[in-house]
Amino acid sequence: MNLMSLKITYLGKFNTEEHTIEKDVRDELIKMGHKVSSIDDKDFDPKQVIELANKSDLFLFRTGGVVTDNVGDFHITLNRLQYILQEIKTKKVFWFFDKVIGLGNNWMFNVEPLIDVGFLNDETFLRRHHTDKLYPLHLGVFSGGVYNGNYNKDFAYDVAFNGPVYGTRKVFIDVMRETFGNNFGVFNIQDDKQFADLCASAKIIVSPRFPYDDWFWSERFYKTIGHGGFLVFPRFEGLKDEGFEDGVNYVGYDVYGEMIEIIKWWLDSNNEKAKEGIEIIKKRGMEMVRFNHTYDKKLQFLLDTTFNRYKK
């Protein structure tokens, strides 16, 4: 089989105007030379998915359309996915981007026996529940989707946060507003070019800890650094395994009190070391992401592992 030109059926979040990781992955696969048939996982015919997948070399999915926010819909949609996987005879692979919590645990234990191999962004789950079918695979950036942004006065805050506000993040936002007042901006930008402008305009991009941990974080880490942003991010052990160093590619913190003091140090207008250091860290971080953490490299690992794991 030619791994440079595969037929792939991909079930994921496609029928939306918003950015999704699946769109980046699909575009990267196409850029790599593969033929991808994408199907939205909220509105699909199971028989059509089975037919298309059985004509492909690989069936790839994120959650397979399983609803994990209520028990009733979970069991119905899980049964549907189990039926689909039992009927598909080609390679079956998932790349699960999210934190494995709640009904996600049930999803993992029910789906794992029916697939050839699975990849998880949540490496913490794998460290607790090791199986020979599952591999850690953190996220990254689309190789054709990282940009050098332009200055935009609407984004020119001392400190900025980009992302949805929910759960304990609300407390984080309140603390940041109380500390930095009008110098703190909150955004939820999806467009990559516009986000690159935010990274070029805000002095510091900051991230709260929730819902991350030592071996789980979202694509925002890679996108912020890859677009040239100066990122203050939780100091996680897993980032070292990915090649990132605190004070070299990003600036880390352990607790919010430390984070506040770190931000103030880097914002001090009289701090010549900070002025010079910001540009050095931004450059090193951007190079690290663009050279080592693009989806073509992540997907090549996924494909090589999927098709070669049983070869001697």
Q: Provide DSSP, 44-100.
A: --HHHHHHHHTTSSEEEESSTT---SSHHHHHHHHHHHHHHHHH--SEEEEEE-S--
Amino acid 139: pLDDT: 98
- 161 within 8 A of 173, measured Cβ to Cβ: yes
Q: Which two tokens stand for residue 4?
A: 């440079």
Q: Which two tokens stand for residue 75?
A: 């069991």
Amino acid 261: pLDDT: 97
Q: Which two tokens stand for residue 288?
A: 């690290």
How many Cβ atoms from other residues are within 10 Å of residue 102's Cβ? 12
Give bridge partners of residue 162 from the DSSP assignment: 187
- 96 within 8 A of 41, measured Cβ to Cβ: no
Calculate the CA 224 to chain-centre distance: 11
DSSP class of residue 4 equals T
Distance between CA 32 and CA 199 in Å, rounded? 28
Question: What is the number of residues in the chain?
Answer: 312
Residue 44, phi then psi, degrees to nearest 5: -150, 160
Amino acid 311: pLDDT: 62
Amino acid 2: pLDDT: 79
Q: Which two tokens stand for residue 195?
A: 């986000």
Peptide bond into 113 cis (omega under 30): no
Distance between CA 63 and CA 246 in Å, rounded? 33
Amino acid 125: pLDDT: 97
Amino acid 312: pLDDT: 45
Write out the chain's pLDDT in tens, 312 residues: 778 899 999 999 999 999 999 999 999 999 999 999 999 999 999 999 999 999 999 999 999 999 999 999 999 999 999 999 999 999 999 999 999 999 999 999 999 999 999 999 999 999 999 889 999 999 999 999 999 999 999 999 999 999 999 999 999 999 999 999 999 999 999 999 999 999 999 999 999 999 999 999 999 999 999 999 999 999 999 999 999 999 999 999 999 999 999 999 999 999 999 999 999 999 999 999 999 999 999 999 999 999 997 664
Distance between CA 248 and CA 242 in Å, rounded? 13
Distance between CA 71 and CA 75 in Å, rounded? 6
Amino acid 310: pLDDT: 63
158-185 burial by CB neighbour count: b if 16+ within 10 A, else e? bbbbbeeeeeebeebeebbeeebeebbb
Give the global pTM. Answer: 0.95
Q: How many Cα neighbours within 13 Å face the side chain of 262? A: 23
Backbone dihedral region for residue 234 (phi beyond 0: left; psi -120 to 50: alpha; all else: beta): beta
Q: Which residues neighbour 299 within 8 Å (Cβ) at sequence distance 6 or greater? A: 25, 28, 29, 32
Question: Which stretch of DSSP H or E encloses residue 171?
Answer: helix 169-180
